[in-house]
Structure formats: C-alpha cells, structure tokens
Structure 1
Amino acid sequence: MAYLNPAGEFTRDQRYIATRITADGRDGFPVEAGRYRLVVSRACPWANRAIIVRRLLGLENALSMGVTGPTHDERSWTFDLDPDGRDPVLGIERLQEAFLKRYPDYDKGITVPAIVDVPTGEVVTNDFPQITLDLSLEWTAFHRDGAPRLWPDELREEMDQVNAVVFKNVNNGVYRAGFAGTQEAYEKAYDRLFARLDWLSERLGRQRYLVGDQITEADVRLFTTLVRFDAVYHGHFKCNRQKLSEMPVLWAYARDLFQTPGFGDTIDFTHIKRHYYQVHRDVNPSGIVPSGPDPSTWTTAHGREELGGRPFGDGTPPPPPPASEAVQESA
C-alpha cells in the first residue's frame, strides 16, 4: 500500500458514511442498547477518540466494542486478536465484510472507528467526528451517573473553532508532514504543525484544559495526537523540531490527561508503533519497530493541578475498564 503522495501534499479522503445513530432514529438507526458494535483499533488516533469518549460517558454496557489488530492490508482491518480470527459478536474476519454487506460496490476507505448494526451485520457509519459527537448528545439515556459534559452548550462555538484549527494543523498536520511526497509540501506541513503547537503551548500555559475549566472533547481530540507524538510522529513522520517531551507545557498537559481515568488506560503503545512502522512500508521500508521511547515517563508528576480546573466538572471519573477491555500490554 502506498501512503506517500508523489505529487506533493497529502490530502485525506474524508468521504465517510454519514448515516447517524440518533435518539429519534431519523436516519433509520435509533439509539438502542445492545444493538450496535463499535469497531476500533487501539493504534488509530481517530478510533482512540471514540474509545475514550465511550469510556468517559460509561457506554460500555450499551455499546459493545470490537478491537482489531494493529496492522492491516489493502483489504481492511482484521480481527486477528480474537482466538479464531473472527469478531465474537459480528462473526466476521475483516471489517470490510460489514461495509460490503451494506454497500456491495463500496469503493472508499474501510476505516475505524466504525459502528456496525449487529442484527444485519451492516456498517452504519464511519464518520469519526460525528460518532463521538452523537455519543455525547444522542446516547444520553445510557450515560453513566456522573458522566462529564464533553460538549457543553455554552462552549460549543469556541470548541468548534479550536477543533477546526487543531484538526487542520495538528491531528491531520502530522500526516501531511509524514505523507508529503515533496520537500516543499513537507516543509509547509512541518511549519504549520509547529506553529500550531507553539500556539497551543501558549494557550495551555495559562489554563489547564483546552476550552473551559474541565475536560471536553477538544482535549480528547488533541490528546490522541500528542500521545503518539514521540513514539511515532517525531521520527516516522519527521516531525522533529522537538519531541513532545521537550515541549514543557504540552508534555505536562498530555501527562495530566494520560493519568486521568479514561485516557491513559486506553493507550497501547505496542499497537501504535506496530501499526505505523509496519503498515507504512513506503515510509519505513524495513518494517522495523523501534523499542523506545520509555512509556513509564507518562506517569511522572506533571504539576498541572496548580492551574485549577475540575477534570470532570460536576461529574465523576469513570470506573476502571471492564477486564475484557483492559489494555494488556503498553510498552
């Protein structure tokens, strides 16, 4: 599979299945406990958002989760972590099967996260920004007691503004650098990325969280890129002006979130490194996966409590993940 764009700038294919699962079922898919399965990879930052939001909101009993292996081929993600190589609920070997079940001529990306309708085995949506928004606003009947408000009404406009620039220059910015096919395209993406990281450092130097005084989805979206930065983006994607661990404010902010229940307990650094270094063979032809960095540094003191803020607002931390969903290896 080729990821580098020989013409220059990397452009993400954002043609996602826009069907929504809503409280009123207006798209034909009403919110129902036990009906749907969230399919994720722990390697993928976009899927990691959904894993974290599901944990914070306490939707484990309402929305089951299937976890693919960290690597894939041109056909799609596979369930090679399960004993017989099949998802135990959907009974399929590849996520591709759920997409083709609904759209036999589907010709776009087979991406995670994806939500599958269990009774029919058909994919419902892989629109990752909408998935997490709907988990917050449409699945409220199944939120745990004490679930945080990840999309507060009074912060929505500011969150939309911050999320837009973070997506363009950071979340997707690292890919624009890593998959650039020309020096000019790479340098343009590199400059935009670090200019935005400097902006974020200044912003987060005076407040504990990205928007408001509690964790919102804006923090979730930034975290999933930052937590992969030193392990993958710094070297593999040539985002190497500095490591995250050399940017004091962002490093402290990221560790603060990592040590917050629902964040660090979703992270599998082994899966993350295996995916990027083994799948992107045009970037890393040898497929060799680096041994470092040392994940234990993520648990060191960060001092962000001094900035105040209430991590979960008027809510409470989520309980530990179910044993069946606990990360087994994170080094």
Structure 2
Amino acid sequence: MSDQTPSYVEKGGFERDMTYVPDRITRGGARPEHGPVNGELWPVEPGRYRLVAARACPWANRAIIVRELLGLQDVISLGTPGPTHDKRSWTFDLDEGDKDPVLGIHWLREAYDKRFPDYPRGITVPAIVDVPSGELVTNDFPWITHDLFFEWRDHHKPDAPDLWPEDLREEMEEVMQRVFTEVNNGVYRCGFAGDQDSYEAAYDRLFDALDWLEERLADRRYLMGPAITEADVRLFTTLARFDAVYHGHFKCNRNKLAEMPNLWGYARDLFQTPGFGDTIAFDQIKAHYYVVHSDINPTGIIPKGPDETLWHTPHGRERV
C-alpha cells in the first residue's frame, strides 16, 4: 500500500486514496454475513489464491500475520516482493530469476493489468491473485484480513485465536478506527505533510492517540483485554516500524516507542508471540522507506539502527 503516490489536500495535508478493488473471497462465493458487497464474490478454495504481501509494508504485514495466526499457510500461498520498487510497481526481485515462482511475473502490476488493462491506480500490497488466471482478485486490505477470519474458518488450525470476539466487536471497531485514522495513517500524515502547520497538526493528533493507547494498556495486556484480536495486529505493524522509520524519517519524534513503557512492553510482547515478530524484516522495512521515498531522503542512505536485539528483551506484560 505504501507505494501509492501521496495525494495532498488544501494547505498541504496528506489524504490517503482509499479506493481499492472491492471484490471479496467468501464461503462458496455466497453473500458474506458481514460487510458490504461492492464487487464480485469469489469462492473460498484452498490452493487457488496467492497472497502477495511485501514484508516491508505495514498494511501487507497485517495479512501475513493473520495468515500465520490462523494457520492458513498451506491453504493460501504467499508471495513476497522485495522492499524497493520503481514507478511501475512492487517487484519480485528477492526470488530466483526476479520472478514470483508461482505466478511467473516480475512486476505485481502484471496481475493488476491482466484483470484491468492499464490499471490506473496505485499498485498496492497486500493483493490476492487468482493463480489459475493470474489475475488480481482484490487489494482491499481491511477486508482481506477480515475475510481470512470469517470466510476461511473451515480451514483454520484447531487452536486459531478468535481475532473478532463477538462480545467485543462493537468496541473493537471503534478502537480500530481510531488506531487507523490517528496512528496507522497518522504517521503518514506527519511524513507527507506539505507545510509546517499541517505537520504540526498531524504530529499533535498522532501523539494524542499514542498517549491514549499508553493509558489504555496500563491495565490490560492487549487492546481489548486478555487475548489477542485483530485490533492488536493492526496496531502492531505501525509500532514495529516506529523507532526504525517513523521517528526519524517521518519526523514523529516527540519520543521513541521505547520511551513509552506500556506501549513498548506491549509491542515486545506481541513481537515475541509466534506469528508476529517472525514476520518482521527490519532490513526490508528500512530499505523500503529510506530508498523509495527519495523526496524525503534524497541520499538514499539507510540508517544502521536502532538495535534490533532490544525487541527480544523481557517485556513484563504477564503481570498486567
């Protein structure tokens, strides 16, 4: 997702383009129980689809984590583009021959264009591709992880976590909306601000939200209580990139994540949970932001720090 060309609104503020291919993959291709149907419906079918998700991208990282947590690795295959790309799209330059071994393509754009010739919008990850046809199915990232939980349930591992507990969904939706607008997107609002006033307004909004989260996590282990939910997945991918990228590159520098005790302990707790930290590639994360965003970092120099070993230190969250 982060390869989209940022758009700017009046007075230099950043506004994300949230228009995606709205198709969804559902049980039997039937109308889903939750959410809108604004595009085509595709049937759940093990082995048919490939999740294309760059480890560098926070939005794609969500889908990788959810796939791991639910045990869908043998049901939906994973393609991982490299961290840097040109104006055409994400590329499979980490794979032998610079081509995805299943789709046989070098640029993700090829799957987009096969479904929509000369696709006019940003070529974003995560994306789900129909392997038999080589065509894009959807890139609608919030619904991808939602449907991995609700629509692929017949294929979850026996001990898969309940990422959308029914009794918490209403509150969870409110929490996730604030996390998205103020934190997930808030760091980009700071980084791509076009003038001082827009940047300072974005900065204040971001740290107001981080202070709210710091307080919320003082007496609960995870965002919604004692168990991991989708809300934690959505927050984690931003926190994992905060000190390595957003603090300096995006000027989100009131303080580091490591200087907020509850959030830092919470982030390390998740990082050390199977399915979270093992999806993080700090070298790819830093290469993506510091190389691709040449308008912000024209030298292309990638910082050496911070010290990644700190993510493995005791988090102490068991006592919460």
Q: Give the TM bin, normalised by the shorter chain.
A: over 0.9
Give the secondary-structure state (helix, strand or coil) at the position aligned to 2:52. strand
**Worse-matched range after superposition: 7-16 or 227-236:** 7-16
Supply the AA of the counterpart residue of 1:17: V
Q: Compare relative contact order (CA 8 Å, sep 6+) and give the higher one, 1 or 2.
A: 1
Taking structure 1 as reference, are residues 122 and 274 closer, same or farther at Cα in structure 2, changes over 3 Å only? Answer: same
The question of 1:281 aligning with 2:294 is answered: yes
Q: Is the 8 A contact 2:294 2:300 kept in 1?
A: yes
Deviation at 1:105, TM superposition (A): 3.2
Q: Is the 8 A contact 2:7 2:15 kept in 1?
A: no
The question of 1:298 aligning with 2:298 is answered: no
The count of residues paired between Structure 1 and Structure 2 equals: 307
Task: Name 2:225's counterpart in structure 1.
Answer: 212
The question of 1:22 aligning with 2:2 is answered: no
**Worse-matched range after superposition: 149-158 or 36-45:** 149-158
Q: Is the 8 A contact 1:4 1:282 kept in 2?
A: no
Deviation at 1:5, TM superposition (A): 4.1
| TM-score (norm: length of structure 1) | 0.91
Distance 1:13 1:48 in 2: 19
Q: Deviations over 1:106-149 (max 9, x none)?
A: 11110000000001000000000000000000001110110011
Task: Name 1:326's counterpart in structure 2.
Answer: none
Supply the AA of the counterpart residue of 1:196: A
Alignment match of 1:134 (pick from 147, 158, 168): 147
Q: Is the 8 A contact 1:4 1:181 kept in 2?
A: no
Q: Is the 8 A contact 1:87 1:93 kept in 2?
A: yes
Task: Name 1:47's counterpart in structure 2.
Answer: 60
Deviation at 1:152, TM superposition (A): 1.1
Task: Name 2:34's counterpart in structure 1.
Answer: none
Distance 1:165 1:138 in 2: 25
Supply the AA of the counterpart residue of 1:19: D
Task: Name 2:213's counterpart in structure 1.
Answer: 200
The question of 1:10 aligning with 2:3 is answered: no
Distance 2:168 2:120 in 1: 37
Q: In percent, how many aligned pairs have the same letter?
A: 67
The question of 1:60 aligning with 2:73 is answered: yes
Q: Is the 8 A contact 2:6 2:16 kept in 1?
A: no
Distance 2:86 2:17 in 1: 17
Deviation at 1:95, TM superposition (A): 0.4
Distance 1:105 1:40 in 2: 21
Task: Name 1:122's counterpart in structure 2.
Answer: 135
Distance 1:71 1:11 in 2: 23
Q: Deviations over 1:40-80 (max 9, x none)?
A: 10000000000000000000000000000001111100000
Distance 1:249 1:82 in 2: 39
Paired residues for 1:127-166 under 5 Å: 127-166=140-179
Q: Deviations over 1:278-328 (max 9, x none)?
A: 000000010000000000000001110001xxxxxxxxxxxxxxxxxxxxx
Distance 2:174 2:150 in 1: 19
Q: Is the 8 A contact 1:3 1:282 kept in 2?
A: no
Give the secondary-structure state (helix, strand or coil) at the position aligned to 1:84. helix
Give the secondary-structure state (helix, strand or coil) at the position aligned to 1:164. helix
Paired residues for 1:83-94 under 5 Å: 83-94=96-107
Taking structure 1 as reference, are residues 56 and 136 closer, same or farther at Cα in structure 2, changes over 3 Å only? Answer: same
